[in-house]
Structure 1
Amino acid sequence: MRSPGLLRWLSLPLVSLFASCGPAAPEAPAEAPVAVQEAALTELLSNGGFNNGTTAPWWNNASTQSYVESNQWRVDVAANTANAWDAIVGQSGLTLVSGRAYTLAFTARATATITARVTVQQDAAPYATTLTQTFTLDGTSRRFTFPFTSSLSTGVGQVTFQLGGRANAVTVRLDDVSLTTESGSTGSGPVAMTSGFYVDPNSNPAVWVRANGGDGRASRINASIASKPMARWFGNWSGDITQAVSSFVGAADAADKLPVLVAYNIPGRDCGSHSGGGAGSADAYRSWISAFAAGLGNRPAVVIIEPDALAQLDCLPNDSERQTRLGLLRYASEQFRDRAPNTWAYMDGGNARWIGADTTAQRLESAGARNVRGFSLNVSNFYSASESATFGNAVNAALSSRYGYTRQFVVDTSRNGNGSNGEWCNPGGRKLGTPSQTGGGAEMLLWVKVPGDSDGNCGIAPGTPAGQFSPDLANRLIDGT
């Protein structure tokens, strides 16, 4: 482990909205809380408060006119701009470091209700972006905050506000524009505290390879799957959860690597389907998830919180049980925020074709997503990274519009190399996706589902229970058959 990480904040009240149910897939496989100190921040932008009466070094293009009015940046946007980037303002000359955590924040309003876009990107070809967020403005001044981890290392970075794409003229006012990062280190958060993702030596594929060295498939499975970083799933099979979590993150910490963990023990898990089970009561779950967070301590980690628990709200029989589940997820978010300061936790948000983006955003808010780093998508499913990223951005647009904040998201790419054929339970013709990495259209692409572990007694593995490793499934994922 390298340096200490980020401060967590805030929880919010309950909202309930419900839609359809769907599948999940499990994997079989105490430290005291520590005090957190807020790190000193370095401001990367100049003249973000516009207090000197000038706009420099901010720039604008020909479709905009800008000047300072009442210590705010007034931007008059011309009519008849076809694209968002046709009316653009920004600041250039920024240095960005890949893997470092940043926060972009600003206050804004407009003379009409509009949707605008903000980016952090390269100021030169290929103009790669590390943050792209849409947000909605109207006559009410609002504060917008967008945390992100840079996927770029560049000395020619820039922040842009893209305000075009409409027939009518509009005036936008911006103030207190800020891009900050922690001082005194090469980064912050668990990514910067470690030197890559942790390869689990006791994953189901690794255990199978060690036990079946004479099998002709073993070398392929080792090279393509067992030697890659992937998540470890924890549930009611894990025994002493504090010890199990602590042992796993301790081994990763000793190797200076970042472990990925999945908490999968919500009562009524998977609506009683292939991966059914979970804690026996709400009180049992609260004890379990608190002990899980305690096992992390101050060591760096990534945690995926309860795959499918939000998307499956409708499978619960009544509103009382749905409210209970939302409360348990919110409690989980608070435990990770308060007890695991160097963990980035992500509340699961389903997948791109399950629950709509606006409903997903409302459920995330109800479950305490603002307490944690962000949300996860496509866990144990097959949708492409690009489709998942489009959905993630739509969820963030809804979060921004409804609640004035957005969150980072991660995408499970373990089995999405061929995309989805519409089936979720051991479908044929699927393929391994991009191995775990930062960036790639999301904050991270991760192998959350363990490739080769069955989704249940279904599809091309009708005799393999959920969470059990199948070398045939693994081999077919390698070949895409």
Structure 2
Amino acid sequence: MRAALTLLAALSAAGTGASVTASPLGPPKPPKVGASDINPFAGKKLFANPKWAAKLDDTYKSFVQKNDKANAAVVRKVQKTGSFVWVTSRSGLSEIDDAIRSARDEQRRTGQKQIVGLVLYNLPDRDCSAGESAGELSSRNDGLRIYKEQFVKPYAQKLAAAKDLQFAVVLEPDSLGNAVTNMGVEFCAQAVPTYREGIAFAIKSLQLENVALYVDAAHGGWLGWADNLPLAAKEFATVLSIANTGNTSSGKNATIRGFSTNVSNYNPYITSNSTHPRDPYTEWSPSYDESHYASSLSPYLTELGLPAHFIVDQGRVALPGARAEWGEWCNVEPAGFGHTPTADQKVLQNENVDAIVWVKPGGESDGECGLAGAPKAGAWFGGYVEMLVKNADASVKA
């Protein structure tokens, strides 16, 4: 999956000069389409996927064999950490059933309310600008109808039948980022109308009280440049407008909770001189970390009547100096597990952010790129996950 801006977009945005603040937008405000202001993550534990935890058993054994007890202990903590479950194909819909069963068991066992993180990721012509995560559907082969009828509808039905659980759903990582910056790529230009209609359909289909929807907003190094911020907000508003063309089954406007950022990327949540200094390539961006991206994008969203709530993926974070430019997105080295999932504002320090989460399961390859010998996207990358453990954030090791 591609999680970086095009070089053209980066250069044009970088040329705007120093950091700027958001200015009022011209068009009148449409009716607000945001959902309740109640943070769905508050008071809940992000569901820890036992299937992902099982994959880490070999990582644990590897550290034990090296007599590295400290990192073996970190693996055990990581295995208990909440992460999102990716649903990326029609056959993969069974992942939802497995997650529901496991979350119910955990909720009964501990008495702690669970929030199940899911990713909905199967648009036709997916990953139009990179192709490392090209999916099973093509718009040329009736892909949009199949997506709606055989993927989104059963997806929604499964969540509707699990009213005892709360869900947070990330919708189609990277897709609308491509709509903002990569229309010069022919395949993307052809795919974007399908992206818009498909995501709008998913939004309408998932209007459920136990579901919080987060439309993916790429990351600060992609859409966070001063020139791209208003374009991103306009694109999101376009999709919500499509979702509200005609009434939903309830006769009410379709709503979303907010937006997800940094999914499958490596940007830090917050930078500071003492803990994680800014990399040089962020110099001219108002969105030099993901917290600042949320703050930079929020005024543009609010002006268009969109909800300015965010979840930020910190499943993996690049160490300072790991990248020469933001465009490096594939199996970045060195990197480590980021801050553990939390909705605590003492940690977040940003009222626009609902939670730090782990969306990308650490250990799954980004694709056959970035590092020699890297396996295909989604395949297990044993040596890489050992690096993530060794470089894990202090909150993981605590």
TM-score norm. by structure 2 comes to: 0.68
The residue matched to 2:220 in structure 1 has which SS?
A: coil
Once the two structures are superposed, what CA deviation does each residue of 1:126-164 show, in whole Å capped at 9, x if it has no partner?
A: xxxxxxxx88599x9998898776xxxxxxxxxxxxxxx
How many Å apart are 1:190 and its aligned residue? 4.4
The 5-angstrom pairing of residues 171-320 of structure 1 reads 190-191=40-41, 195-203=44-52, 206-210=53-57, 214-216=61-63, 219-220=72-73, 222-236=75-89, 239=91, 241=93, 243-256=94-107, 257-271=114-128, 273-280=131-138, 281-287=143-149, 288-297=151-160, 298=163, 299-313=165-179, 314=183, 315=185, 317=187, 319=189
Residue identity opposite 2:135 in structure 1: G
Cα distance in structure 1, aligned partners of 2:31 and 2:197: 27
Change (3 A) 1:434 1:283: same
1:472 aligns with 2:370: no
Cα distance in structure 1, aligned partners of 2:291 and 2:47: 24
Q: Which residue of 2 aligns with 1:352?
A: 220
Cα distance in structure 2, aligned partners of 1:381 and 1:331: 26
Unaligned runs of 5+ in 2: 8-20, 66-71, 108-113, 244-253, 271-288, 393-398
Change (3 A) 1:316 1:388: farther
- Asked if the contact 1:246/1:296 (under 8 Å) is kept, the reply is no
1:390 aligns with 2:253: no
Q: Which of 347, 355, 359 in structure 2 is aligned with 1:444?
A: 355
Q: By percentage of residues, which structure has more helix?
A: 2
Change (3 A) 1:266 1:316: farther
- Asked if the contact 1:189/1:342 (under 8 Å) is kept, the reply is no
Cα distance in structure 2, aligned partners of 1:474 and 1:141: 46
Aligned-residue sequence identity (percent) comes to 22
Change (3 A) 1:461 1:343: farther
How many Å apart are 1:426 and its aligned residue? 0.7
How many Å apart are 1:348 and its aligned residue? 0.3
Change (3 A) 1:404 1:304: closer
Cα distance in structure 1, aligned partners of 2:154 and 2:197: 17
Change (3 A) 1:319 1:452: closer
The residue matched to 2:367 in structure 1 has which SS?
A: coil
How many Å apart are 1:209 and its aligned residue? 3.5
How many Å apart are 1:208 and its aligned residue? 2.7
Once the two structures are superposed, what CA deviation does each residue of 1:6-41 show, in whole Å capped at 9, x if it has no partner?
A: xxxxxxxxxxxxx9659xxxxxxxxxxxxxxxxxxx
Change (3 A) 1:319 1:200: closer
Q: Which residue of 1 aligns with 2:316?
A: 415
Structure number with greater Rg is 1
Q: Which of 318, 341, 366 in structure 1 is aligned with 2:209?
A: 341
Cα distance in structure 2, aligned partners of 1:463 and 1:371: 39
- Asked if the contact 2:268/2:290 (under 8 Å) is kept, the reply is yes
Residue identity opposite 1:201 in structure 2: P
Once the two structures are superposed, what CA deviation does each residue of 1:227-263 show, in whole Å capped at 9, x if it has no partner?
A: 2111111112x6162x431331242134222111111
The residue matched to 2:197 in structure 1 has which SS?
A: helix
The residue matched to 1:191 in structure 2 has which SS?
A: coil
Unaligned runs of 5+ in 1: 1-18, 23-114, 116-133, 150-187
How many Å apart are 1:214 and its aligned residue? 4.2
Change (3 A) 1:137 1:365: closer
Change (3 A) 1:20 1:240: closer
- Asked if the contact 1:136/1:400 (under 8 Å) is kept, the reply is no
Residue identity opposite 1:199 in structure 2: A
The residue matched to 1:317 in structure 2 has which SS?
A: helix
Change (3 A) 1:475 1:374: same
Once the two structures are superposed, what CA deviation does each residue of 1:322-378 show, in whole Å capped at 9, x if it has no partner?
A: 2222111111111111xx321111000111011221111111112228721111100
How many Å apart are 1:207 and its aligned residue? 2.4
Aligned pair count?
A: 306
- Asked if the contact 2:174/2:217 (under 8 Å) is kept, the reply is yes
Cα distance in structure 1, aligned partners of 2:96 and 2:81: 20
The 5-angstrom pairing of residues 134-173 of structure 1 reads 136=24
Residue identity opposite 1:258 in structure 2: I
- Asked if the contact 1:260/1:303 (under 8 Å) is kept, the reply is yes
Cα distance in structure 2, aligned partners of 1:305 and 1:385: 20
TM-score norm. by structure 1 comes to: 0.57
Change (3 A) 1:343 1:217: farther
- Asked if the contact 1:426/1:456 (under 8 Å) is kept, the reply is yes
Q: Which residue of 1 aligns with 2:260?
A: 376
Change (3 A) 1:343 1:316: farther
Residue identity opposite 2:171 in structure 1: I
Once the two structures are superposed, what CA deviation does each residue of 1:385-407 show, in whole Å capped at 9, x if it has no partner?
A: 13112112222211222x23433
Residue identity opposite 1:279 in structure 2: L
Cα distance in structure 1, aligned partners of 2:293 and 2:375: 32
